[in-house]
Amino acid sequence: MKENDSNPNWQSLANESGSSLIEKAMEKFVFLISLTTILFVLLIFVFIARESLPIFLGTVERSIVREPIPVNALTTTPPEELMAYLDLSADEFQSMEKETLELLLEVKLEELAQAPIGTDATIQTTRWRYLLLPFQWSGYDAPAFIWQPISQIRKYNIVPLLIGSLKTSLIALLFAVPIAIGAAIYVSQLAPMRIREWIKPMIEMMAGIPSVVLGFFALIVMATTLQETFGYQSRLNALVAGIALGLAVIPVIFSIAEDALTSVPQSFSHAALALGSSRWQTASSVVLPAALPGIFAAVVLGFGRAIGETMIVLMATGNASIVSWSLLDSTRTITATIAAELAETVFGGEHYRILFVLGTILFGVTFLANLVGDVVIHRLKRRLEGKIA
């Protein structure tokens, strides 16, 4: 990257030569286009946060128990009461004809006839208290974390999903990190040049296996094989999904770690080798410590990739929303929940918004993971180049 250092020279050269109008316009154009990336990151954040905002602010209020208004009372009931009863905005109400309102009243009566009765019916289940803390719903023996979004009383406790996502990602990392880093050390430090040139592309090719293929493999082949080998109860579980997820994460961790290890200047290892240490000693006590932040970054970025992966966990975890840290229990992740449930929700409904809350959480977590990873790599690179002491 020596060339970069001379870059400012020719830039200043360019600034001296008088620029024409087209030249300036083009420069502006290029500049504006380059802002697209920032725009999209902002848009993603804005559009996902916007949909989940009512939940964060606690303004999703709905009343389930109401006095029924008979259809023939349409003309005698004051508009305000009707609007509240039918959940209509003033504009909507204005635009509707009498027949439509009658239809709505009719349907509302049917809804009330089927509405749940009992102590839970008045609970605003989208409040944070019900999203995060255990609660004893009627019909349950003890307070519990319950995710049952399709139910008369819709229960949206997200704790089982958070645990599910963390659990599968951690299993994936436990499986992937030792293997990927071991391979990175081998390829970058110990392997002969000829082998290195073959193995690196092969592991890079692994990154090219689409996640739906890994999910299919875990679901159809691995789940059965592992169950037959170990004889546990639940065929699809966090372990199966975690291993498949690990296979998806290995190439990510490998390539970042390998990059960090090779960016340690040759002078380090040459010095160690000259002092009589073996290749392995050099790798483990000189190169590895120097590249440690990079390896840390690789793990963090691998975590970001694992927790955001969708198809593998959708197909291989069994999707049971339980609070359990057991590796052999089935589990439900944030991503699989969004993928399985989003399509059926009504745009703007509370279930839809809760799923966007999950999306916001996911976005936040991966954002942090990426930020930490990138900052660490950046600093490591600069230190190895000798720019910071």
- Single out the residue of 71, 154, 163, 62 nearest to residue 109, CA to CA: 71
Shortest distance in whole angstroms from residue 350 CB to another protein: 11
Give min distance, CB of 291 to another protein, in A. Answer: 14
Position 184, amino acid: A
Distances (CA, A) of 92 to 83, 89, 313, 384: 9, 5, 42, 64
> Which of 71, 83, 203, 328 touches another protein by CB under 8 A?
203
The nearest distance, CB 125 to another protein, in angstroms, is 13
CA distance 354 to 54: 9
Sign of CA dihedral 197, 198, 204, 208: positive
Closest by Cα among 273, 272, 263 to 295? 263
- Non-local (6+) Cβ contacts of 271 within 8 A are 286
Tell whether residue 165 is a contact of another protein (CB under 8 A).
Answer: no
Stretch that binds another protein, among 71-79, 122-130, 199-207, 268-276 (CB under 8 A): 199-207
# of chain residues touching another protein (CB under 8 A): 146
Task: Write each residue from 298 to 337 as x if it is in contact with another protein (CB under 8 A), else as -, in one continuous string.
Answer: ---x--xx-xxxxx--xx--xxxxx------xx-x--x--
Among 247, 290, 291, 380, binds another protein (CB under 8 A): 247
Is residue 205 a contact residue for another protein (CB under 8 A)?
Answer: yes
What's the token pair of residue 111?
A: 């809804």
Could you give the CA distance from residue 124 to residue 295 in angstroms, rounded to a whole number? Answer: 46
The single-letter DSSP state of residue 18 is P
User: Rule CB under 8 A: which of 91-120 touch another protein?
Assistant: 92, 96-97, 99-100, 103-104, 107-108, 110-111, 114, 116
Query: 303: which residues sit within 8 A by CB, 6+ positions away?
Result: 169, 173, 369
Place of tokens 């009343």: 63
The Cα 386–Cα 257 span in angstroms is: 20
Using CB under 8 A, which residues numbered 225 to 244 contact another protein? 227, 233-236
Shortest Cβ 346–another protein spacing (Å): 5
If one asks whether residue 61 binds another protein (CB under 8 A), the answer comes out as no
> In the range 349-378, which residues lie near another protein by CB under 8 A?
355-356, 359, 362-363, 366-367, 369-371, 373-374
In the region spanning residues 26 to 55, those forming contacts with another protein, defined by CB under 8 A, are: 26-27, 29-31, 33-38, 40-41, 43-44, 47-48, 50-51
Cα torsion through 266, 270, 271, 272, rounded to 10: 110
By CB under 8 A, tell whether 276 contacts another protein.
no
Residue 242 Cβ vs another protein, minimum distance, rounded to whole Å:
14
Residue whose CB is less far from another protein, 218 or 290: 218
Which one, of 165, 170, 174, lies nearest residue 147 by Cα? 165
Give CA–CA dist 204/254, Å, rounded. Answer: 9
Q: Which of residues 64-83 bind another protein (CB under 8 A)?
A: none
In 3D space, the residue among 299, 335, 303 whose CA is nearest the CA of residue 164 turns out to be: 335
Structure tokens at 115: 């509405």
Binding residue for another protein, selected from 161, 172, 183, 298, defined by CB under 8 A:
183
Q: Decide: is 10 part of the binding site for another protein (CB under 8 A).
A: yes
Give the residue, chosen from 117, 193, 202, 274, that forms a contact with another protein under the rule CB under 8 A. Answer: 202
From 85, 135, 216, 296, residue interacting with another protein (rule: CB under 8 A) = 216
Nearer to another protein (CB atom), residue 175 or residue 290: 175
Spatial distance between the Cα atoms of 133 and 150, rounded to a whole number of angstroms: 19
Distance (Å, whole) CA 147 – CA 160: 7
Find the shortest distance in angstroms from Cβ 267 to another protein: 21
Among 61, 80, 81, 344, binds another protein (CB under 8 A): 344
